[in-house]
């Protein structure tokens, strides 16, 4: 076997975001682009020689070709052991679980998560740490630093390996293990949930519809929901992973999961509906004629954790990203457990989980997880709901009504303005920063501003600091508006506006969210000059 040393030069723009490096697929397919970034990962972790690595992805276009390249680079670098999901498939939560189970030196996950896939759409790559979680800011900074000075990479000159057939082979010093991507994850789920109780729920006539959105969770959901738990045949729809996700956008929200929403709001709707995204780490929960916002889902899960077999001892604490609604905080207060508010990005939960400060965590962008792994986990969240539904024997709508009666209701929505010209987006944020000192004390549309700031975070575990994490406008009574630029798109800038209004009850708990939030929405537009600065009269996506 011949190992080639290839001369290269730095490529501009390879700075990892909150979830690794995401670009258009054709960008990754350029000569040296993928190789430069992979070599920079290897350099940042002290080289790959003698180390073990997990490889897998969500099956989007270019997934298998990228894996072949990474395998050849790892062999050239002297890796001792590569674990690869058959056909290159591995959900992000399963990857985290397998990294932890086999104690690898980390893993490389190929995904752009909920972004569309295809040759003209998006691709992504990220490095996960040996704890199974996303690279910390420090590690990401090291990777980026190496991308700025790289001048060569090594790659083995050999034919593509078989990544379809489960089994093992050895090439040079590297043992290559092709595994069933579902088996270890399913085994872990069975230790966390009362599968017998869920089986009885399905036997009672309870019906579910799970939309895998032609993404990675299809094989997982088929194996667990239909295979192990006995949900009726075809409970899982769009179950076959496709390179372009069937032309759809694998983001589990009411807009993109419209087929599921039509089923759940149609005649003869099932009792429970759910969906997951491109790489399987996000979730959508919906009952019969009852959409559950991700923020509410997180709060309800915390409130019902003791009804779930793996969480009967209670929660050490909970954590949410700053833009996520404050519904979780109200549950934590009643349970008398700590509640942490972190920046957006799952990596910020990792330290809290490793330090055993929290058990459950989540974010408004449909990610929920716990201490079982170090990533958010879409199918796990579905099983969590099914477990406490089996015990409560109530409908989703009844559970939500009970929850709001107990804790009050945080009406909540997020408006996304996508692919905004970057200068316009930055001007909007700069304009808000310039007003932070003068906002408090003003009343707009009957809403009294009591505080305004740009969120920063001091990590209580490692002492690190994160600044410029979003602009917050807080109102008397618990309502909020938050403005933030997202780092998950590949074109221009995405402006995200988070809108929250608290209703303590007992009245006004069943309003339409758009009615309850009308004054907040109007106020957000006025104080930001969004329409004037961006030319946008309406968001591209509302969730």
Compute the average pLDDT of residues 234-238.
Answer: 98
The whole-angstrom separation of Cα 515 and Cα 342 is 29
Question: Is 321 a known active-site residue?
Answer: no
DSSP E strands in 145-292: the ranges are 152-157, 167-171, 174-179, 208-211, 236-237, 272-276, 283-287, 290-292
| pLDDT tens-digit series, residues 64-112 | 999 999 999 999 999 999 999 999 999 999 999 999 999 999 999 999 9
pTM for the whole structure? 0.95
Q: Classify domain 2-181 by CATH number.
A: 3.40.120.10
What is d(CA 426, CA 471) in angstroms, rounded to the nearest whole number? 12
CB atoms within 10 A of CB 46: 10
Q: Which of 19, 40, 52, 113 is catalytic?
A: 113
**Residue 204: per-residue pLDDT:** 98
Question: Per residue in 394-410, pLDDT tens?
Answer: 999 999 999 999 999 99
Return the domain boundaries, the chain. Answer: 2-181, 185-407, 409-542
pLDDT of residue 164: 97
Q: Within a 13 Å sphere around the CA of 161, how many CA atoms are in the beta-carbon half? A: 31
Measuring CA to CA, how many Å separate 145 from each of 10, 47, 153, 389?
A: 10, 15, 15, 48
Q: Taking residues 295-317, report their average pLDDT.
A: 98
- CATH number 3.40.120.10 is the correct assignment for the domain at 185-407: yes
CB neighbour list of residue 122: distance below 8 Å, 6 or more residues apart: 22, 23, 24, 25, 60, 112, 115, 116, 490
Within 10 angstroms of residue 453's Cβ, the number of other Cβ atoms is 15
Q: Do 185-407 and 409-542 come out as alike in CATH topology?
A: no
Look at residue 541 in the predicted model and tell me its pLDDT: 83
- In this structure, is the dihedral angle defined by the CA atoms of residues 262, 267, 268 and 271, taken in order, positive or negative? positive
Residues ≥6 apart with Cβ < 8 Å to 258:
none
pLDDT interval class at 19 (50, 70, 90): confident
Closest C-alpha among 367, 345, 355 to residue 278: 367
Residue 392: pLDDT over 60: yes
Q: Residue 511 above 60 pLDDT?
A: yes
Query: Residue 345 — pLDDT band, cuts 50, 70, 90?
Result: confident
- Report the topology of domain 409-542: TATA-Binding Protein (3.30.310)
């Amino acid at each position: 076997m011949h190992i080639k040393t290839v001369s290269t030069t730095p490529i501009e723009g390879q700075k990892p975001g909150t979830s690794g490096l995401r670009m258009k697929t054709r960008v990754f397919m350029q000569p040296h682009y993928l190789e430069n970034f992979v070599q920079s990962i290897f350099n940042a972790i002290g080289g790959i020689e003698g180390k073990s690595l997990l490889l897998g992805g969500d099956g989007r276009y270019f997934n298998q070709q990228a894996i072949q390249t990474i395998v050849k680079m790892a062999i050239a670098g002297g890796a001792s052991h590569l674990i690869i999901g058959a056909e290159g498939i591995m959900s992000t939560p399963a990857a985290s679980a397998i990294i932890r189970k086999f104690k690898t030196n980390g893993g490389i996950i190929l995904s752009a998560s909920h972004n569309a896939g295809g040759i003209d759409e998006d691709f992504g790559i990220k490095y996960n740490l040996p704890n199974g979680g996303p690279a910390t800011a420090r590690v990401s900074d090291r990777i980026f630093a190496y991308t700025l000075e790289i001048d060569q990479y090594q790659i083995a000159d050999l034919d593509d390996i078989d990544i379809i057939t489960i089994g093992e082979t050895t090439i040079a010093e590297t043992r290559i293990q092709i595994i069933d991507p579902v088996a270890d994850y399913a085994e872990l789920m069975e230790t966390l949930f009362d599968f017998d109780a869920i089986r009885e729920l399905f036997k009672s006539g309870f019906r579910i519809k799970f939309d895998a959105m032609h993404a990675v969770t299809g094989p997982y959901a088929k194996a667990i929901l239909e295979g192990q738990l006995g949900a009726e045949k075809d409970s899982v729809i769009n179950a076959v992973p496709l390179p372009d996700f069937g032309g759809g956008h694998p983001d589990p929200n009411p807009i993109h999961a419209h087929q599921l929403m039509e089923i759940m709001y149609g005649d003869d709707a099932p009792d429970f509906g759910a969906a997951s995204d491109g790489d399987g780490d996000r979730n959508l929960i919906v009952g019969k004629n009852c959409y559950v916002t991700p923020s509410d889902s997180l709060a309800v899960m915390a409130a019902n954790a003791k009804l779930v077999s793996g969480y009967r001892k209670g929660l050490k604490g909970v954590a949410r990203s700053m833009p996520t609604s404050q519904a979780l905080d109200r549950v934590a207060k009643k349970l008398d457990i700590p509640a942490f508010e972190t920046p957006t990005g799952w990596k910020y939960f990792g330290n809290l989980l490793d330090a055993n400060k929290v058990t459950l965590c989540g974010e408004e962008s449909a990610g929920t997880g716990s201490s079982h792994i170090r990533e958010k986990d879409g199918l796990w969240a579905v099983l969590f709901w099914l477990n406490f539904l089996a015990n409560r024997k109530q409908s989703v709508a009844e559970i939500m009504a009970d929850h709001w009666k107990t804790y009050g209701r945080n009406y909540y929505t997020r408006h996304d303005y996508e692919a905004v010209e970057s200068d316009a987006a930055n001007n909007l944020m700069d304009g808000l920063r310039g007003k932070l000192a003068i906002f408090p004390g003003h009343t707009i549309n009957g809403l009294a501003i009591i505080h305004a700031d740009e969120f920063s975070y001091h990590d209580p575990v490692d002492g690190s600091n994160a600044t410029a994490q979003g602009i917050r406008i807080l109102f008397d009574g618990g309502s909020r508006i938050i403005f933030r630029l997202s780092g998950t798109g590949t074109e221009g800038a995405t402006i995200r506006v988070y809108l929250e209004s608290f209703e303590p009850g007992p009245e006004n708990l069943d309003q339409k969210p758009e009615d309850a939030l009308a004054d907040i929405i109007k106020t957000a537009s006025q104080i930001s000059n969004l329409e004037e600065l961006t030319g946008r009269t309406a968001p591209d996506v509302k969730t």
